[in-house]
Amino acid sequence: MARFVITGTGTDIGKTVFAAGLTGLLNASYWKPVQTGVADPGPRRDGPWPGSDAAFVHAMTGAPILPEAIILPEPLSPHRAAELAGVTIPDLTPPAADPLVIEGAGGVLVPITREMLSADLFARWGIPVVLVATTGLGTISHTLTALESLRARSCRVHGVAFVGDDNPDNIATIAALGRVRALGRLPRLDPLTPATLSAAMRTHFDPQDFA
């Protein structure tokens, strides 16, 4: 089965762009269980909500989008966004789709509820985790810390996907010290279009690494 959870070393590092790229590379379905920071416009329509990560992924790939379990208006971690909305995070059992790319909210230790972190959820699912990291200054410590956190919770770490400028020493250092596979590096794309993203993924990542 080609089913992967995509998480990151932090926010705004290119996780959603990579998730879109991997969705296209694998001809997969995409699922974001909890979407924050998007106002609910009313009853669910066909297709993803405007402004959501799912809408971006669909625009980049045309891939099948599986409905979020919950959408919350405040741009905060899921636990706090749910509290402010006066709702409870529902059951987050992954759909049966295969291949499937699941994008987590923010980083490895983002709280889903007051009792459960993202990494706890990933461990419960037992689905291989791809950690997205930057290539620049600070990434060694951030990435090794995230790997330690995932492993401490018995998550299945599949590898690290890097986003950013070429920095072979940082990538090699993380692979060696983190005892982890470097899956590839997605360069910053300008312009970022479906064509440039697809071409970059085919150039810098091997689909067999996700088979």
Residue 190 in tokens: 């300008």
What residues form the annotated binding site for ATP?
12-17, 53, 103-106, 187-189
Cα–Cα dist 37/91, whole Å: 20
Q: How far apart are CA 161 and CA 159, in angstroms?
A: 7
Alpha carbon distances (Å) from 127 to 81, 103, 119, 144, 145: 25, 12, 11, 20, 20
**What residues are designated binding site for Mg(2+)?**
16, 53, 103
Residues in the annotated binding site = 12-17, 36, 53, 103-106, 187-189
Residues 32 and 71: their CA atoms lie apart, in Å, by 10
Burial class (CB in 10 A: 0-12, 13-18, 19+), 115: exposed
- Angle 186-207-182 from CA coordinates, rounded to 5°: 50
Catalytic sites, residue numbers: 32
How far apart, in whole angstroms, are the C-alpha atoms of residue 107 and residue 146?
A: 8
Q: Which residues are annotated as a binding site for substrate?
A: 36
